[in-house]
Structure 1
Amino acid sequence: MSPIDWFVLIFTIGFITAYGIWKTRGSKNTKEYLLSKKMSWGTIGLSIMATQASAITFLSTPGQAFSDGMRFVQFYFGLPLAMVVLCMTAVPLYQRLHVYTAYEFLEKRFDVKTRSLGAFLFLIQRGLAAGLTIYAPALVLSTILGWEIFYVNLILGGIVVLYTVVGGTEAVSITQKQQMFVIFVGLMVALYMVFALMPQEVGVWEAVQVAGKAGKLESIDFSFDWNNRYNIWSGIIGGFFLQLSYFGTDQSQVQRYLGGKSTTESRLGLIFNGFIKIPMQFLILFIGAMVFVFYQFHEPPLYFNQVEAAKVRRSDNGSEFISLEQKYHQVFTQKREQAIALVEALKQGEPQQIDHAKALLDAQNSAARDIRNEALAIIHRQNEAEGKGKSSDTNYVFLTFVINYLPKGLIGLLIALVICASMSSTSSELNALASTTVIDVYKRSVRPNESESHYLKASQWMTIGWGAYAILFAEFASTLSNNLIEAVNILGSLFYGTILGIFLVAFYVKSVKAKAIFQAAILAEMVVLFCWKFTNISYLWFNLIGCAAVILLGLLLQLFHKQHTDGTSFA
């Protein structure tokens, strides 16, 4: 990067961090540190969005659209309905009970064992997810600086831990407003630049048409298939249960709206998120689709992770990989000609010419994919020889576009976007992990009678501890073969259904008691893990399966316990 890019990047990150620390200095007790009751609906809404919109969103989502089109937007179709349900149920209940965490409610409804189980399930998945949100921006800086990603993880994780430890939950929420401003500005700049850098003969409408002809703008799939990850049914039904669990039971989100000045402020913040989130994700996916069009006219690398590509060139497989790069270049030359021909046919509006040009372009894209798959096979073989898992380069698609094609100054702004997203999401997660550990485990079961200053120090040490845990997991994230945006949602879906089932029983099924729900939750989690390991069912359905299993097993086990207690039999 140029000096001006470094200035923009360092100034943006440094100002937001310093502002958050200064604005929230001097937390004197755990209530101020973990649960500030000062937030307006606008701050809550932006904080909720920033918590969900990690660096993974801005690195991996464009890559998802680049490779698979915009079908992923269906993942969010259940979100608005989930926001309405939570505003009617969870928000007033949590506010009325004056809880620090969502899991305190489980003890009031069931017992301390169930509360600890809910907290434990949250801590497992959110601690791992925090590692992914640190790893994502580390990809950026390690690629730019050429540093080992190990050290970049330490630096980025350390910055987030610093201002989260010093300022607590209020620092998280306040800095997220500035971070979301940078994010929205960065998105608009990225969208403008991808159109501005198209060839002169390719206008906005022509670019959109090319994306449509390539199938990248197909956003809704009405077919029903358990194994299809993204269709309208998995999005509305599975996505509804995932979002209901994420925003209703995940402490990283619950803590954001528990900090509202009133129930009304918390509700408005959730509704604001429900209205804005889908358009924002649509925009990010649309940028990815336009980057695909951009690379119809500008030659992309054979493998977008240039660090890995350079290693392969120096390896025993180097000559084979270089030969594939030469073939890829030849195919791209022909592909570019066909893309220009398609644009000309679209301008003339002749259906036969359009269909003919599209068929030729599809053939060239298919040939390019075949060569790319051969290259991926080489990289996978090398990774296996080195004891590594399969890697994915879709996380590098947008990053490669930013670094190679944006002008000076804007590169720094877009990199700041990615790092701001990481800081906002990771800080929320660390704050929630610390609060859950201190309130639901340490204060409840380990040291229940200490002073406020003791619990404040414990909260800060827990933040440091979870930060270290997340950084440690980030070091292993490079072995994941999934696109990161999918990986983090798959991870959540393994646990969210079970947690949601516990809460729904607590809310609505008063006949089910503590012993039955505890056993049902453990069995339901085993069902979800079985589906993940041994079936091809789309991960979004895990949320429904886990939730339904908890409810049904809870009812059956409660009936069994009742029969056993009464001394009667089912016969």
Structure 2
Amino acid sequence: MTQQISGIDWGIIAAYCVGLLGMAYWLSRRQGSREDYYVAGRNLGPWPVGLSIMATQCSTNSILGAPAFVAFTAGGGLLWLQYELAVPLAMVVLILFVMPLFRHLNLVSVYAYLERRFDLATRLTLSGLFLFVRAFATAVTVYSIALVIDLITGLGFFASVLLLGAFTVVYDVMGGIRGVIYSDVLQLLILAIMLLVVLVSLTTVAGGMDAMWQAFDSERKTTLDFAHHGFGDGKTFAFWPMLFGGLFLYVSYYGCDQSQVQRQLSTRNIDATNNALLINGVLRFPLVFLYCLVGVGIGVYAAQHPTFVSALPATGQGPQYNLAVPLYMINALPVGLVGLSLVALFAAAMSSLDSVLNSLSATTMEDYVRRFHRGHWTARKELVYSRGMTAVWGVVTLVMAFYVGDIAPTVLEAINKVGSLANGPILAVFILGFLVQRVAGPQVIVGLSLGVAVNGICWLTMPEISWLWWNVIGFFVTVVAAVAVSILPGGKWKGGGARTEGEPDLYEQAIRHHLRTEAKVNWYRRSAWLLVWFLCLFVLLRWLE
């Protein structure tokens, strides 16, 4: 797979990496405090933030995995598009019910809210869970992407890790969240352009879009599966688990995960925050649809060129279908475009890694270092510590990537399951804080533990239940358990953070101040357009069947 990568292509890759470093250095001169470094002085507009949110979701695993799912995976096909129906609905929930509170509190770490509402133990439990899960998942991501780079370029695993990780860590350390967001925008544009180039190439080879569509396996054209429910029938990707499970997953990820909330808090006001979410809610589907169409093209190309699949590297479980897109890029695109296509793959990887490293640093600084350090903090000292913490997490995740090899294949298959173990329970903790007055910190920790435990039992003993339902199951188990413990005798444990009668409702104050006073846009009315967009997408998927 390496013979067609020319010196020109390597030059394009090198120029891109050097350009990122130059941009990060230029942005670093504007930083004077940790707020500049972690939330860009709360002065960014909605477009870069909205596009950055989209870019983070379009990781290399998605760009390679989604086309493979559409083209080759048993039980796959265009069913993946059902998942996207939940995105605009999740954005409505975040716009109207979540982000006004976080904007009101001027947070850097989203978990600081939990100490204010519950107690320090709740804050540290959730932030510690985030640090563990994200660091481990990032190491696995580095490992998997480095394998892809090695197979494509022949550089070797060690050099592939350094190529991907070193540049990402260096520009992340210098650029901060502003560098993360602006580089994400650049990376998203490169990725979208190259996906369009690949799609045009595939349709040309197939004889046009209509001919490609007609040649695609009819069973894989199914976009909506109402025949199954995923609750014991062994069908993971049915409509209802993808809609409701996806809704809970996306609200938790975009609203309770530091890597996402942090960039939303970098905007200048509540209107900019909500507009960024609106942009993501509208534009994400076209991007996902684009790389699913690439999957359609790859499937048709493989059917018409039998030697294509045999050229894929093999594993004990068969061909590595995730490498189908880069293999096509290398063999079908001319010199120069091959380099840009590899840049697009690197860009997708970097856009996932950079935001995670910055958020790991922010959580560590806010929830641990600054929270427990009693000395005097100057703005300069905070900035130096923040950069140092990003570098530390970068080194940690890169080193961990060399030690997950034995378990990575299993983890890669189950990475979404791992997230779904905790997404619902984590969301439940925040929702309990927003809406349930009597529940205290120790009680939500009990609920969180039970929610994760029940999801774990589902994983180990009930594989016929779609893992997407775990997001819903874990949510309701956590809520019911926490509320049940709170109404038991002695349920209001001292110091647990339960609100007393007559105490001001911080959540209601935030909604009233930001949506009804500060906002210049009627977000109740504008959110209705996301519901209209949801209906339009549903009609489109019905039409495609």
* Correspondence list, 1:133-532, <5 A: 133-198=141-206, 202-213=207-218, 215-222=219-226, 223-226=228-231, 227-301=234-308, 305-306=312-313, 309=314, 379=316, 393-446=320-373, 449-475=376-402, 476=404, 479-481=407-409, 484=412, 487-532=414-459
- Following the alignment from structure 1 to structure 2, what is the Cα–Cα distance between the partners of residues 479 and 515? 34
Q: Offset of 1:405 from its aligned partner? A: 2.1
TM-score (norm 1): 0.80
Which is worse superposed, 393-402 or 130-139?
130-139
Residues 564/218 of structure 1: CA separation in 2 closer, same or farther (3 Å cut): closer
Q: Distance in 2 between matches of 1:155 and 1:490?
A: 29
Considering only aligned residues, what root-mean-square deviation do their CA atoms show, in Å?
2.2
How many angstroms apart in 2 are the aligned matches of 1:269 and 1:455?
28
Q: What's the secondary structure of 1:143's corresponding residue?
A: helix
**Does structure 2 retain, via aligned residues, the 8 Å contact 1:121–1:499?**
no
Give 1:429's aligned amino acid. V
The residue correspondences of 1:55-74 to structure 2 (distance < 5 A) are 55-67=60-72, 68-74=76-82
CA distance in 2: counterparts of 1:498 and 1:419, whole angstroms: 33
Q: Is the 8 A contact 1:238 1:540 kept in 2?
A: yes
Q: Which moved more, 1:220-229 or 1:499-508?
A: 220-229
Distance 1:561 1:180 in 2: 54
SS, match of residue 77 in structure 1 = helix
**Matched residue type, 2:230:** D
Q: 1:128 aligns with which of 126, 136, 141?
A: 136
Matched, 1:33 2:50: no
Unaligned runs of 5+ in 2: 495-545
Q: Does 1:42 align with 2:39?
A: no
Structure 1: distance between partners of 2:50 and 2:456: 33
Percent of pairs with identical residues = 31
Q: State the 1:212 CA deviation.
A: 4.4
Q: Does 1:555 align with 2:500?
A: no
Partner of 1:386: none
8 Å CA contact retained: 1:71, 1:230:
yes
Q: Equivalents in 2 of 1:18, 1:251: separation in Å? A: 27
| Cα pair 2:13 2:343 within 8 Å, conserved | yes
Task: Supply the distance in 1 between the matched residues of 2:406 and 2:164 (Cα, whole angstroms).
Answer: 16
- Output one character per residue of 1:524-558: Cα deviation in whole Å (capped at 9) or x when no partner: 22222222222212221111111111100001111
TM-score by length of 2: 0.84
8 Å CA contact retained: 2:20, 2:171: no
Alignment CA distance shift 1:300-1:24 (3 Å)? farther
Distance 1:491 1:449, change over 3 A: farther
What is the CA–CA distance in structure 1 between the aligned matches of 2:203 and 2:475, rounded to whole Å?
44
* Shift in CA distance, 181/483, structure 1 to aligned 2, threshold 3 Å: farther
Looking at structure 2, the residues matched to 179 and 86 of structure 1 have their Cα atoms a distance apart, in angstroms, of 25
- Give CA-to-partner distance per residue, 1:347-394, whole Å, 9 cap, x none: xxxxxxxxxxxxxxxxxxxxxxxxxxxxx6xx25xxxxxxxxxx8712
Shift of residue 120, structure 1, vs aligned partner? 1.3
Contact kept, 8 Å, 2:34 with 2:386, in 1: the verdict is: yes
* 1:14-46 CA distance string (max 9 Å, x none): 323322331333522111111111210101101
| Cα distance in 2 for residues equivalent to 1:286 and 1:259 | 33
Cα distance between partner residues in 2 of 1:158 and 1:396 = 23
Structure 1: any 5+ residue segments left out of the alignment?
A: 310-375, 381-390, 567-571
In the TM superposition, what whole-angstrom CA distance separates every residue of 1:188-211 from its partner, at most 9, and x where no partner exists?
A: 11110111233xxx4321210121
* Aligned-pair CA distance for 1:561: 4.7
The amino acid that maps onto 1:62 is P
Conservation of the 8 A alpha-carbon contact between 1:125 and 1:495: no
- Indicate if the aligned counterparts of 2:24 and 2:172 stay in contact, CA closer than 8 A: no
For 1:48, the aligned partner's letter is: I
Task: Give the whole-Å Cα distance in 1 for the aligned partners of 2:111 and 2:491.
Answer: 29
Aligned counterparts of 2:217 and 2:62: Cα–Cα separation in 1: 23
Deviations 1:406-439 (A, max 9, x none): 2222111111111111112210010011101110
Q: Deviations over 1:453-483 (max 9, x none)?
A: 3332322222122212322343325754469
**Amino acid corresponding to residue 245 of structure 1 in structure 2:** S
Larger Rg: 1
Task: Name the CA distance, whole Å, in 2 between partners of 1:245 and 1:436.
Answer: 17
Q: Match for 1:455: what amino acid? A: E
Verify: 1:100 aligned to 2:100, yes or no. no
Quickly say closer, same or farther: Cα 1:217–1:20, change in 2 above 3 A. farther
Q: Secondary structure at the match of 2:22?
A: helix
Offset of 1:260 from its aligned partner? 0.4
Task: Supply the distance in 1 between the matched residues of 2:312 and 2:407 (Cα, whole angstroms).
Answer: 14
Equivalent residue for 2:526?
none
Describe the shift of the 1:487–1:294 C-alpha distance in structure 2 as closer, same or farther (beyond 3 A): same
1 CA distance for matches of 2:493 and 2:182?
Answer: 53
| Residues in 2 aligned to 1:564 and 1:167: alpha-carbon distance in whole angstroms | 46
In the alignment, is the contact (CA less than 8 A) between 1:51 and 1:252 conserved in 2? Answer: no
Is the 1:94–1:102 Cα contact (8 Å) retained in structure 2?
yes
Q: Distance in 1 between matches of 2:202 and 2:411?
A: 22
CA distance in 2, matches of 1:94, 1:265: 14
Q: Indicate how the Cα distance of structure 1 residues 125 and 548 shifts in structure 2: closer, same or farther if over 3 A, else same.
A: same
CA contact (8 A) 2:48 2:182 kept: yes
The residue aligned with 1:543 is 471
Query: 1:6 deviation in Å?
Result: 1.8
| 2:18 paired residue number | 14
Q: Is the Cα–Cα contact under 8 Å of residues 172 and 424 in structure 1 kept in the other structure?
A: yes
Cα 1:116–1:304 shift into 2, 3 Å: farther
Instruction: Return the letter of the residue paired with 1:168.
Output: G
Among candidates 47, 52, 60, match of residue 57 of structure 2: 52
